[in-house]
Structure 1
């Protein structure tokens, strides 16, 4: 069910939610948190769809603040989505216009669930320092996505300069399966030191940069970050050891090939993760992601100091 409320106020939206709850039996107590996403019109529906996907694991109130034109007088158009149009959540879409576009916190605060955590998410461009943003300052967790920015590499640098505990980025979350597979591979004998690493990914892929930083910080060996043109995702990781290399290569979007010395190559599931899957993972924890913070603040710099960056052209297989 979708209810449109043009030229309204946050107070009127709150009253309408109470009225819907009384008539249809939806209870606020079933929501475990408030997810506030701030974006523009171009990214709005895909972000709301991702939030709905995550809400099946984490029932929440989704407040989507969509910034319209800053010209003209202040205006708020709202939309309430419940039932089948809102996943396992209730979605409040707030479109701001005029001077109101610069003050999203003023329309968010009246609609926050009482005594529930707040998570702020910027699906595309984000503030330079999310923790100093008025909405971000209220949130326990602040989620950004460097890969969705116009300049992903520059966005990752901004994340490092403006990092505060509680920040995270979906470019890091997309690496969970890669990190787990690499850790499992290194757990198998022979237990030798890794002498060098090569990470290959798209030239503007921040996940590959973060993975190179994590491996440099964890393994304390030179890590080469190879930037491949013609592709946009993670392609491969090679760990060199005295007995031979461990290689994980993903030739398509779903299956990777794991190669280890003296063993038959094995195919393993390594799908590219959607924004909804990554968002659901991030909502499982409200404490700071210390590993992400260490990689962002120290791992990236360590990789640049002890490793190197190269470029290559790869024929896209996707």
Structure 2
């Protein structure tokens, strides 16, 4: 801590203003280094009653010169607002009250620790303090930048994951239907076609729920060279009434078949007939045809 000067005035009056004035003179006479800590601890057991009008101005003069004032009131005849009039802010660090001098002695260590913490803070040279502030600001900025870079990496990774093509190789993708389609030119029966879609591609036979989807499959799926060069003209889709004869369902998604399906009701599986504009037709499930797989995403 800084050097301490002691000034004792005995008497029955509380001349707080006089004590502050004397301390101010001592600081000025010593011409202390501007980087040294300057702190005054005022201990009083009464209200200022001698030259009391000068108490606050004398305290303000000290504080204007960079002196920190800790005010300690002892006894019942103390008003906290009188202590706050002369003490530095924040008051929770610079204003104390005690019941009596025994209580003051018991709490001395806590007050000394508080005073020393305040002095330690004050004793830092201004430039050093500024440097610490700048260093702290730079550290905070660097931490923020690092956090932003880390966040950007995470977002980039998520974006890359989101933009990975959800369709297997050679499938055509339609974001409107959120589905991928592939015409497979291998002649198999309906049950085998559904099995191969699952085994080879993690898909199912296609479900043709709307006229728009039917139009898309007819115009996009069969444009691939392998589909047109194999000589296959009929393609299994997932429509069937194997579970409930007379009620066609799309096995791929469990929806009812709402589009027009021609053919003999004695047959239970549906295909797209290339000899009839790829319209939907009922045929025997054991016949061998190509098939269209669909994978949803």
TM-score relative to the length of structure 1: 0.20
Of Structure 1 and Structure 2, which has the larger fraction of its residues in strand? 1
Which structure would you say has the larger Rg?
A: 2
TM-score relative to the length of structure 2: 0.21
